Amino acid sequence: MSQKRVLLTYGLVLSIMVLWGLNVVIIKILVEDLPPQTMTAFRIMIAGITALIIIVLGKSFRRLSKREWLYTLLGCIFGVILHHLLVAVGLTMIDASNASLILALVPLTTALLSFIFLGE
């Protein structure tokens, strides 16, 4: 890989990390002026429209079975909607720095609980 390409890759990774890290701070600023439910609805709507455009342009759309629709719906509710809504509501009560630390501990907590309860 050429030196230019390596620098571009690291620059893109750094940019994504900065944007990802600023996510909680930006949400904290937004929930001071918008209700958490409204802000979450707009975030999910924009993400959904973006995903739909990518799917249509990439021609990767296929019909889902009823079982896949159920899993998709459950994943949307618990993995997206509730997560973002609870983060936004939580940021109305605590600082962005504390929220970032809590979110950063989720993978570790999941691994520990998996070890304790599932023996994995």
Per-residue pLDDT of the chain (120 residues; tens, 9 = 90+): 689 999 999 999 999 989 888 989 999 999 999 999 999 999 999 999 999 999 999 988 888 899 999 999 999 999 899 999 999 999 999 999 899 889 889 899 999 999 999 988
Task: Judge whether 53 lies within some domain.
Answer: yes
Give the per-residue pLDDT at 104.
87
> Is the model's pTM score more than 0.85?
no
Phi, psi of 47 (to 5 degrees): -65, -40
CB atoms closer than 10 angstroms to residue 10: 10
Please give the tally of structural domains in the chain: 1
Task: Judge whether 28 lies within some domain.
Answer: yes
Parent domain of 41: 23-118
Task: Judge whether 13 lies within some domain.
Answer: no
